[in-house]
Structure 1
């Protein structure tokens, strides 16, 4: 289930996603970069990192990802993902997004028990819609006290990159903002965690991914790669694999896509 936030929260929250698993079997999952940051809320999830086997906190923030992270879960679970606009984590944590890039941060370490009622609601299997409504109230109250105007430039640049589907040059961004490439890069890394070039590459990849998932049926992979702004198919495949760990064809064959960038392996 995916729900959009109210209009006044849309500049900070992209959407909410509720997921649940009723099976007891072990499941391998991969989260790959889409340029966003976010919050995972759960009351009963047993989730582990694939490399170290370390158990994840029940609820955690995740910073901007350079590529992908693999997890596995044991037993039944339900979770609510709050997918942020990329700069919102910087506002929420009051920390440079570059410092938390690729990091998992326990909610308890940042907000103590402020999100505990939402975890308990999920544990007791409350209606996800009601939990999301209460989260909207929580984030609205937070933003009334905390929001400054420092992110306005980054928000405008992000919108510009999205409008151009990631196919923008450094020169075009310099002209649009009036900032030098290095100055804009520092601001982007502070608010979003990655450079404008890296963010543009992620957006272009997801533009291709969107066309791939729609399955127009009359265009082959090469034609889609050109439409997305790639010089050739080999460039696309290399970029796709660096970010997702899969080739486009392997991604298409993935049966259980929990979200566009969260898949079961």
Structure 2
């Protein structure tokens, strides 16, 4: 279930997701980059890192990902994901987004009991829509008290990249912002955790995903890659495997896509 925030929160929150697995069998799942940061709220967390075997914190923030992360579940799980505009985590945690890139940060380590009421409501199986409404109030209060103004510049650059579907050059960004490539890169990495070039590549990849998933699309992969701004199909496949860990056709054939960038393997 995906729910959009109120319009006044849209510059900070992309959407909410409620994901639930009621099967007891072990599942292998993959989260891959979409250029966003976010918050995962859960009452029971049965997800474990495939790489380290560590159990994920009950609730956690996640920074911008360079690639993908694999997990496995031990039994049932359910959680609400708050998918942020990538620069919002910088303001919430009051730290450089570059420092939390690829990181998972336990909620308890940074905001202590602030989000505990939402975990309790999930534990007692409160309607997720009611919890999301309460989260809207929580984030509105935060914005009224602590949000700075420079995010507006970063948000404008982000929108420029989104409107061009990731097909932007360093020169076009310099012309749009009036900043040198290096100066813009420093600002972007502080607020977004990644460079403008990396973010543009992610947006272009997700534009290709949207083209690939369109119904009744009879065009071949070469044409689709061209329409998405890739120089050739081999370039597309390299970028896709780097970010998703699969080829485009393997992704397309993946049956259980819990979200566009969260899939069961």
Q: TM-score range by the shorter chain?
A: over 0.9
Partners of 1:129 and 1:136 in 2: how far apart?
11
Give the Å deviation of 1:44.
1.0
Q: Deviations for 1:58-114, whole angstroms, at most 9, x for unmatched residues?
A: 100000000000011111111100000000000100000000000000001111011
* Residue number in structure 2 paired with 1:245: 245
TM-score, with length taken from structure 1: 0.99
What is the Cα deviation at residue 175 of structure 1? 0.2
Q: What displacement does 1:212 show?
A: 1.0
Residues 1:163 and 2:166 are matched in the alignment = no
Q: Which runs of 4+ in 1 moved over 2 A?
A: none
Secondary structure of 2:28 counterpart: strand
Counterpart of 1:129 in structure 2 is: 129
- Hey, what does 2:261 align to over in structure 1? 261
Tell me by how many angstroms 1:46 deviates. 1.2
Q: Please show how residues 47-58 of structure 1 align to structure 2 within 5 Å.
A: 47-58=47-58
1:179 counterpart SS class:
coil
SS in 2 for 1:54: coil
Alignment of 1:21-170 (within 5 A): 21-170=21-170
How far off its partner does 1:215 sit?
3.7
Q: TM-score, normalised on structure 2?
A: 0.99
Give me the whole-angstrom Cα distance separating, in 2, the residues matched to 1:234 and 1:165. Answer: 20
SS of equivalent residue, structure 1 residue 182: helix
1:187 and 2:187 aligned:
yes
- Tell me, what secondary structure is at the counterpart of 2:102? coil
Deviation at 1:216, TM superposition (A): 3.6
Q: Which residue of 1 aligns with 2:19?
A: 19
CA distance in 2, matches of 1:260, 1:216: 19
Structure 2 counterpart of 1:10: 10
Matched residue pairs, number?
Answer: 265
Unmatched 5+ stretches in structure 2: none
Shift of 1:3: 0.2
Hey, what's the Cα distance between the residues in 2 that align with 1:184 and 1:216?
A: 40
Give the structure 2 partner of residue 230 of structure 1.
230
Give the superposition deviation at 1:30: 0.4
SS across alignment from 1:99: helix
